[in-house]
Structure 1
Amino acid sequence: MNSQEILNNPFLNKGTGFTQEERDELGLNGLIPPRIQTIDEQATETYGILQTKGSDLEKRFFLMNIFNENRTLFFKVFSQHIEELMPIVYDPTIADTIENYSHWYVRPQGAVFLSVDDPDDIESALRNGADGRDIRLIVVSDSEGILGIGDWGVQGVDISVGKLMVYTAAAGIDPSQVLPVVIDDGTNRQSLLEDPLYLGNRHKRIRGEQYDNFIDKFVSTVEDLFPKVYLHWEDFGRSNAANILNRYKDKITTFNDDIQGTGIIVLSGILGALQISGEKLTEQRYVSFGAGTAGAGIVQRIYDEMILQGLSPDEAKSHFYLVDKQGLLFDDDETLTPEQKPFARSRSEFDKASDLVDLESVVKAVHPTILVGTSTVPGAFTENVVKEMADHTDRPIIFQFPTQLN
């Protein structure tokens, strides 16, 4: 590897941090400024420049330039200021870059782009992306169900890149051993299909056998190439997320953040709130506003905890009410997903079941003690909804998860 290749490799480039011995050995003399800086000096300088940026979006652009050039420096700064920079590097600022990805595209940022139209390219693409590195963690998304903003096609690759940044900054995962992947199986967002600058496949999302076969081939190829890999699924749509997880969870080391990760976080928050109120989880009435991948996944995790705390399956299910676009979910609805069906209610439970078509009407009928929102509908947690909850429980627990909508 020559000197220019070293400077252009973000995993090897140290900028002004190369020692004189390294500069002599690697042929870097004259290619970088003569002053030698420590990583702490570089980080202090970088953070100072960051503070001059006028908006979170400008700060993210600046940080991503550092990420593209010098991974060590980027993660030094990010880890030193993780609480401040998390909403800039990841959610919610990342939503802006996802929505404008094709217009703002400069570099692939180490991501692998897989097209459902080209399954024979899976192996070569993964090999090219790994570039000989020992990959231990992959975050993959098809970007159909990005929490809070929905389907963004290939532009959702930023989610895979961003989530791996969080893994490194918060958990110390070696950034040279991770690989962000996006599966481009089309998009159902018409504005993208009509955008002349859109960088993804210009067709509606592929469903059924072709999609399933592609996922199977992707998983088998990943396992062959990277036998020690941990495969993280991110922001898949409700029609695929649970199916994929259930297909592979007993075969490989895998995890779905929206189904399992979000559920763990919500459960921990609820348990913390119940410590304050002095109440039991098994005494709660839970309304989920949004019953897609995240909403149903959270419900399943809390249901599992209720069983661990002594309830029977039927007793535990009786504590849950799921509200989606059609209102309260009932068991005679033929459009229910497999994840929604166990928690759907019977119309015979209510005097006026046909009136339960929105969140407020359900809250009035059910009197929940816990309300969790994962829907993309803005403004649903109105003053009336909150007051209605407060009229029937001393310490209502309310979580709203799509932070882009807060």
Structure 2
Amino acid sequence: MNILNNPFLNKGTAFTTQEREKLGLTGALPAKVQTLQEQADQAYGQFKSKSNQLEQRQFLMTIFNTNRTLFYYLMGQHIVEFMPVVYDPVIAESIEQYSEIFTRPQEAAFISVDDQDHIEESLKNAADGRDIRLIVVTDAEGILGMGDWGVNGVDIAVGKLMVYTAAAGIDPAQVLPVSLDAGTNNEKLLNDPLYLGNRHERIYGEKYHTMVDKFVAAVEKLFPESLLHFEDFGRSNAAVILEKYQDKILTFNDDIQGTGIISLAGVLGAMNISKEKITDQIFLTFGAGTAGVGIANMLFDELVREGLSEEEAKKHFYLVDKQGLLFEDTEGLTPGQKDFVRQRSEFENADELTNLEAVVKAVHPTVMIGTSTQPGTFTESIVKEMAAHTKRPVIFPLSNPTRLAEAKAEDLLKWTDGRALVATGIPAGDIEYNGVTYNIGQANNALVYPGVGFGAIAAKAKVLNEKMLADAAHALGGIVDPDQPGAAVLPPVSKLQEFSETVAQVVAQSAIDQGLAQVTDAKKAVADMKWEPKY
């Protein structure tokens, strides 16, 4: 019976008569032997019968918990429909209710800041002898736009790994979601009798970083060929951890680097459409946290690659956070923010630049990217002010889930007479405006991190560096059709599997070209590693 309870090996009703006899399953299943397609048809019918998306997600998780092959076969057939259900935005509801609806740990490892002597043992137990090649770890301090969700945030690691497999084809038996439970500052969780995590305020400082260091050391010992993907860490820790390890091990921070890649790819796609140069753009990032600074860094590096000096490139960036435009004397600056601060002497009205509208009027951005989680802040007056000074304003309201978006794509097109080049952080349908059908690109990291990570793993790369990430952005940005009226700046989710393979090959080739890979043929390495859902 163990095999029926092993989601990596279970076939359910698809076990043949011979297999049932061999495995001791005779009489343990109904007589009918189903094909994988018959199981998928049956499951999809049940999926459609659910009354809301959270129920649909819970149903899909039941399949995920019992039969990984069926889950990914089904998701492959309905990837556009399933992506928002298994990942963003529905995963936000799932995280909020994680402790209430908990049934299984989904083969995750739970590491506690209060029990650091058992970190290696915890990883070994959760892996259960599997050949782990990919780990997504979160401490859940900065989940989506939701903030601190403690141990509930492990759902984001599970969801990220689902997308890795569905999009790029990493073997689901070779992945491991990890929760680093450092406590939580979320009073709602601390007061919830059902909460499953450490019931104390979040730990910072030496004790926290000792846990991270012990965790990384254990990963390197147990899974030396794995990629370590950091996810949704708070702004005080995310960049510090990435900077400590990015040149030493194969690691990736999706919030810093993934958001940067997808934003650069979107801007490159927009430039293909507008026929403008990226070096002529003025960039305003609204929300200067982990993601906002990551975006600025990725775009800055691109300007330098295009021939600008570092000093000249920095002049193209304006970071706006809750204090307004960030200046050299702004209190509480993070190390990442300090790289992009402005001088008050540049402005006659520097003291008035305390809100987004004032900054837009002062600097006339041509590209405005929102990672603020402040809903509706890209107002009609701000967008019209921006559009008055540039022919094709590039506007990316990236905050998610839906309720936190800075603007709706439909409004951005209406306020700019269809001139805006828009990408959103959440799925947006086609929009009809003045006789043109506008496709709206989804600037979701899910479009890029599966191919990036898979390519690095397939190449057995030593590190994942800035050049590999830039090559991935160019590969993605080059897929759009710039001459189609209403063209999106990014390729559609419906082609996610196709372009994830393209990105993976580009990243693997970049690693080979830089002498950082342990393979010589990028296409073969990617093809050899790819897993397909079949019995």
Question: How high is the TM-score relative to the length of structure 2?
Answer: 0.74
Is the Cα contact below 8 Å between 1:141 and 1:235 reproduced in 2? Answer: yes
Within the candidate set 160, 163, 177, 1:180 is matched to 177
For the residue of structure 2 that corresponds to 1:138, the secondary structure is strand
For the residue of structure 2 that corresponds to 1:376, the secondary structure is coil
1:26 to 2:23 alignment: yes
In structure 2, give the amino acid aligned to 1:16: T
Find the aligned partners of 1:121 and 1:377 in 2 and give their Cα distance.
40
State the match for 2:230 in structure 1.
233
State the match for 2:348 in structure 1.
351
Q: CA deviation at 1:302?
A: 0.4
User: Residues 290-345 of structure 1, C-alpha deviation per residue, up to 9 Å, x if partnerless?
Assistant: 11111100110000000000000011111101111111111112411111001011
In structure 1, give the amino acid aligned to 2:115: D
Find the aligned partners of 2:277 and 2:385 in 1 and give their Cα distance.
21
Find the aligned partners of 1:358 and 1:185 in 2 and give their Cα distance.
34
Moved more, 357-366 or 310-319: 357-366
User: Residues 217-261 of structure 1, C-alpha deviation per residue, up to 9 Å, x if partnerless?
Assistant: 000001101111110001111111111111111111111111111
Q: CA deviation at 1:109?
A: 1.2
For the residue of structure 2 that corresponds to 1:181, the secondary structure is strand
Within the candidate set 322, 325, 328, 1:328 is matched to 325
State the match for 2:47 in structure 1.
50
Counting only pairs closer than 5 Å after superposition, residues 241-256 of structure 1 correspond to structure 2 as: 241-256=238-253
RCO higher in structure (CA 8 A, sep ≥6): 2
Is the Cα contact below 8 Å between 1:141 and 1:182 reproduced in 2? Answer: yes
Within the candidate set 149, 152, 156, 2:153 is matched to 156
For the residue of structure 2 that corresponds to 1:51, the secondary structure is helix
Pairwise CA RMSD of aligned residues?
0.9
For the residue of structure 2 that corresponds to 1:340, the secondary structure is helix
In structure 1, give the amino acid aligned to 2:193: P
User: Residues 74-108 of structure 1, C-alpha deviation per residue, up to 9 Å, x if partnerless?
Assistant: 01101111111100010000000111111121111
Within the candidate set 248, 262, 268, 1:271 is matched to 268
State the match for 2:203 in structure 1.
206
Percent identity (aligned): 65
Counting only pairs closer than 5 Å after superposition, residues 305-324 of structure 1 correspond to structure 2 as: 305-324=302-321
Find the aligned partners of 2:225 and 2:272 in 1 and give their Cα distance.
39
State the match for 1:398 in structure 2.
395
Find the aligned partners of 2:195 and 2:71 in 1 and give their Cα distance.
29
Find the aligned partners of 2:399 and 2:31 in 1 and give their Cα distance.
47
Find the aligned partners of 2:356 and 2:145 in 1 and give their Cα distance.
18
1:283 to 2:280 alignment: yes
User: Residues 143-166 of structure 1, C-alpha deviation per residue, up to 9 Å, x if partnerless?
Assistant: 111221111111100000000000
For the residue of structure 2 that corresponds to 1:402, the secondary structure is coil
Find the aligned partners of 1:238 and 1:284 in 2 and give their Cα distance.
27
Q: CA deviation at 1:188?
A: 1.5
Is the Cα contact below 8 Å between 2:373 and 2:400 reproduced in 1? Answer: no
In structure 1, give the amino acid aligned to 2:288: A
User: Residues 357-399 of structure 1, C-alpha deviation per residue, up to 9 Å, x if partnerless?
Assistant: 1111111111100010111211211111111111111110011
Find the aligned partners of 1:93 and 1:17 in 2 and give their Cα distance.
30
State the match for 2:83 in structure 1.
86
1:386 to 2:383 alignment: yes
1:146 to 2:132 alignment: no
Within the candidate set 198, 216, 221, 2:218 is matched to 221
Is the Cα contact below 8 Å between 1:330 and 1:344 reproduced in 2? Answer: yes
Question: How high is the TM-score relative to the length of structure 1?
Answer: 0.98
Counting only pairs closer than 5 Å after superposition, residues 32-43 of structure 1 correspond to structure 2 as: 32-43=29-40
Q: CA deviation at 1:127?
A: 0.7
Q: CA deviation at 1:16?
A: 0.4
Find the aligned partners of 2:391 and 2:101 in 1 and give their Cα distance.
49
Within the candidate set 186, 190, 194, 2:191 is matched to 194
1:105 to 2:102 alignment: yes
For the residue of structure 1 that corresponds to 2:198, the secondary structure is coil
Q: CA deviation at 1:403?
A: 2.5
Is the Cα contact below 8 Å between 2:111 and 2:181 reproduced in 1? Answer: yes
State the match for 1:132 in structure 2.
129
Find the aligned partners of 1:147 and 1:375 in 2 and give their Cα distance.
11
Moved more, 208-217 or 167-176: 208-217
Is the Cα contact below 8 Å between 2:133 and 2:227 reproduced in 1? Answer: yes
Find the aligned partners of 2:47 and 2:373 in 1 and give their Cα distance.
32
State the match for 1:123 in structure 2.
120
For the residue of structure 2 that corresponds to 1:57, the secondary structure is helix
In structure 2, list runs of 5 or more residues that go unmatched: 406-535
State the match for 1:362 in structure 2.
359
Is the Cα contact below 8 Å between 1:147 and 1:374 reproduced in 2? Answer: no
For the residue of structure 2 that corresponds to 1:399, the secondary structure is strand
For the residue of structure 2 that corresponds to 1:29, the secondary structure is coil
Find runs of 4+ consecutive structure 1 residues off by over 3 angstroms. none
Q: CA deviation at 1:49?
A: 1.6
Find the aligned partners of 2:331 and 2:146 in 1 and give their Cα distance.
26
Within the candidate set 293, 297, 302, 2:294 is matched to 297
Moved more, 161-170 or 207-216: 207-216
Q: CA deviation at 1:117?
A: 1.0
Q: CA deviation at 1:114?
A: 0.7
Q: CA deviation at 1:136?
A: 0.5
State the match for 1:70 in structure 2.
67
In structure 1, give the amino acid aligned to 2:379: T
